Amino acid sequence: MGISQAAEHIGFRSLAIKTTLKKMSEAPLPCILHWNKNHFVVLYNIKNDVFYISDPAHGLLQYKKEEFLKSWIGENATEDTEEGIALLLEPAPKFFNNDLAGDSKYSLSVGFLSKYLFKYKKFIVQLIIGLVAGSLLQLIFPFLTQSVVDVGIKNQDIHFVYLILIAQLFLFMGRTAVEVIRSWILLHLSTRINISLISDFFIKLMNLPISFFDVRMTGDILQRINDHRRIERILTTSSLNVLFSTV
């Protein structure tokens, strides 16, 4: 869940739960609520059965209990309906440290990503070799075309023209072969990194206590799996394609 990660990054402890209105009245405030099943709001106070909401779309609002339940859980919700989604927040010691820009966790996260990428140095070297080979083959084409005009057409040497055309054909075939091999290596590399990320994630997941799963929603865990897939795409397809396009 992106909001939970952002809250933890700036110094909050976060916990995503499904709860009832009765239990929510005892929860620490402020907290973040899933609202009308389409966006998030902040519940910052409860007083005399009036719920004070900060909505990014409409500003500061006040709701009676019935209106609050309708927007938070649904039409037929009651105080005992355990379907309300909330993200509880609690300041950690890090929250009171303003030096967030120099947070060492950034370097740790870079190290976390790089260990998966540099584990497969052999494939990265092969990709670089393929990049250089493809660029060199592409670079030769203009010179061959120039020689057709400067030598073949100027001297009316049809055999030379045929020779250059055959050379261009072989260069095109060679460049296509390099592209196919490079794509296969990239696919193999991305698959290996994805397997490593998911495997490490499940190893950590299996070491967690049962109480962790009691308060987590299935969608939260699935979202974290999708986050690993995005990391894999950044490490392989996206970054390398940008590099190849630049060159």
Quick: pLDDT tens for 154-168.
Answer: 888 888 888 988 988
Position 245 confidence tier, pLDDT thresholds 50, 70, 90? low
The answer on 159 and 209 residing in a single domain is yes
Which residue spans within 65-142 are E strands per DSSP?
84-91
- Tell me the CATH number at 175: 1.20.1560.10
Residues 113 and 36 in one domain: no
The answer to whether residues 175 and 202 touch, using CB atoms and an 8 Å cutoff, is no
* Residue 124 shares a structural domain with residue 184: yes
Residue with tokens 């609690």: 90
Same domain, 116 and 217: yes
Domain boundary among 81, 102, 123: 102
Say whether both 91 and 116 belong to one domain: no
Q: Is the pLDDT reported for residue 20 higher than 60?
A: yes
pLDDT tens-digit map of 191-223: 787 777 777 777 877 777 766 666 666 677 777
Q: What is the C-alpha to C-alpha distance for residues 221 and 216, in angstroms, rounded to an integer?
A: 8
Query: Which pLDDT band holds residue 53 (cuts at 50, 70, 90)?
Result: very high
pTM: 0.45
Who contacts 233 (Cβ-Cβ below 8 Å, separation ≥6)?
190
Point out the domain boundary residue: 60, 77, 102. Answer: 102
The pLDDT of residue 52 is: 92
The residue from 102, 125, 148 where one domain ends is 102
Separation of first and last alpha carbons in the chain: 36
What's the whole-number mean pLDDT along residues 217-241? Answer: 68
pLDDT of residue 246: 61
The yes-or-no verdict on residue 87 having pLDDT over 80 is yes
Q: Which of 63-67, 82-86, 233-237 has the highest mean pLDDT?
A: 63-67
Query: Which has more confidence, 65 or 79?
Result: 65
162, 233: one domain: yes
Q: How far is CA 27 from CA 16, 23, 63, 90, 237, in A?
A: 12, 7, 18, 11, 43
Q: How far is CA 173 from CA 137, 159, 167, 204, in A?
A: 10, 21, 10, 47
Answer yes or no: is pLDDT of 50 > 80.
yes
Residue 222 CB burial class (10 angstroms; 0-12, 13-18, ≥19):
exposed
Whole-angstrom CA distances from 58 to 62, 139, 217, 232 are 11, 58, 28, 38
Give residue 135's domain range: 107-246
Total domains, the chain: 2
> 157 with 120, same domain?
yes
